[in-house]
Structure 1
Amino acid sequence: MKVPTPVQLSPEEVAFVRGLVLYEDAEILALNKPAGLSSQGGRGQVHTLDELLWAFAKPGKARPRLIHRLDRDTSGVILTAKTKPAAGLLGKALMARRFSKIYLAIVTPGAPEPKGGVIDLPLRRDEQGREAYMRVCAPDHPDAEPSRSRYRTLAAVPGAALLELDPETGRMHQLRVHLAAIDRPIAGDARYGGALVVNGHTAPRLMLHARALAFPHPAGGTKRLEAPPPADMADLIAKLGLG
């Protein structure tokens, strides 16, 4: 197979992406993706994470392969495979739902009722010009995709809550749309009705963070990786008294 043409990166870009490394061994590379960085397919002039992975390529070899994606404005753990066999094994494990993903989100206007449970609402893709949205739909809609999200409340104050989320399926924007559907949109999520100011404090972006990822390691056993919330989210959690 022909190796794709490498992307030329600046020294600053190389240093930036190398600074995101959470874990690395012979077969996998995990990064702590910041908010604002597209995983793949960005339309701007800035390189995507997929392109920045050329910083880790050996001469004449392909870059590590992304196993899954995170929304551009979502931060947290993202996994890549350094070898073709590892990519194949991890891709199959992802499809078989053998990955466990844990997210943190700040929502308004307070804790959901009940404070923990499962959101089981089918979703469909809705294209509007160059933008794509996900919408809750009837189970018998021709484009319906079964979608399930588990949630539990970690902390709550009047007007806001910190939730732990576990998506059982992996639809685009799933957690964002599911939480909006139960009237607890994620703070900073302008696309799906999230508050931009929470109890007098600005939500600078989508307050959604991929905190932990557990998966079958290609060498055997289960690997669990964690990433602490970035400074902007940790600051809002502290200001709201949710820490």
Structure 2
Amino acid sequence: METSGCVIFAKNAAAETLAIPMFKGRDIMKIYRAVTIGQFPRKWNEIRTDIEGYMSTTLVKTLDSNKHASYLELRIETGRTHQIRRHLADKRHPVMGDKKYAGTGNELSLAQPRQALHAYRLVFPHPKTKETIRATAPLPGDFKKCLAQLKLR
């Protein structure tokens, strides 16, 4: 298992037809939680970079940090492949346990069985009624264990 948490899927073709414009129109707010290597600055940050020819934006809030690691909340404004992982690695704070972008030189990261990235919350309008839907996935046990081992809360 890699990224854990919330997932949106359509139960039938009609629902898929209604859902596709929400993704294209960026109507879905996607909030993630991550544990990263190193002490990330304790404020909101905006990371904007070009990923494969497209401008990509990730908003980052530090929830807790110490000299070894940081616990972050991230909101992606765009949805590029591996956007969060790439943005954090570019800032020299890769996601803990990320075998692709964290490299192999960090013992803390290597000790994690998977990347410490969790799709925490999705907020979007219901495709038919437009009522706001909020889906939240609690942190899984392995993620909580990672936080505890690193003395983050």
Shared fold by TM > 0.5?
yes
| Consecutive unaligned residues in structure 1, runs of 5 or more | 1-34, 36-72, 125-143
RCO comparison, higher one (Cα < 8 Å, 6+)? 2
Q: Which SS does the other structure have where 1:158 is aligned? A: coil
| Consecutive unaligned residues in structure 2, runs of 5 or more | none
Alignment equivalent of 1:95, drawn from 24, 40, 46: 24
1:119 aligns with 2:28: no
Aligned residues: 151
Give the Å deviation of 1:75.
0.8
State the Cα RMSD in Å.
1.8
Write out per-residue CA displacement over residues 109-138 of structure 1, whole angstroms, 9 at most, x where no aligned residue: 112x363211000012xxxxxxxxxxxxxx
One-letter amino acid matched to 1:192: Y
One-letter amino acid matched to 2:47: I
Q: What is the distance in 2 between the residues matched to 1:81 and 1:222?
A: 17
1:237 aligns with 2:147: yes
Q: What is the distance in 2 between the residues matched to 1:238 and 1:86?
A: 40
Identity %, equivalent residues: 36
Q: Which SS does the other structure have where 2:96 is aligned? A: coil
One-letter amino acid matched to 1:74: T
Give the Å deviation of 1:239.
1.7
Write out per-residue CA displacement over residues 54-96 of structure 1, whole angstroms, 9 at most, x where no aligned residue: xxxxxxxxxxxxxxxxxxx111100111233321121111110
One-letter amino acid matched to 2:144: A
Q: What is the distance in 2 between the residues matched to 1:89 and 1:181?
A: 35
Larger Rg computed on CA atoms: 1
Within a 5 Å distance, the mapping from 1:1-243 to structure 2 comes to: 35=1, 73-111=2-40, 113=41, 115-124=43-52, 144-193=53-102, 197-198=107-108, 202-220=111-129, 221-243=131-153
Q: Which SS does the other structure have where 1:237 is aligned? A: helix
Q: What is the distance in 2 between the residues matched to 1:205 and 1:182?
A: 20
| TM-score calculated relative to the size of structure 2 | 0.91
Q: Which SS does the other structure have where 1:187 is aligned? A: coil
User: Given that residues 106 and 207 in structure 1 are in contact (C-alpha distance below 8 angstroms), is that contact kept between their aligned partners in structure 2?
Assistant: yes
User: Given that residues 30 and 122 in structure 2 are in contact (C-alpha distance below 8 angstroms), is that contact kept between their aligned partners in structure 1?
Assistant: yes
TM-aligned CA distance change 1:180 to 1:227, over 3 Å: same
One-letter amino acid matched to 1:149: T
One-letter amino acid matched to 1:239: Q
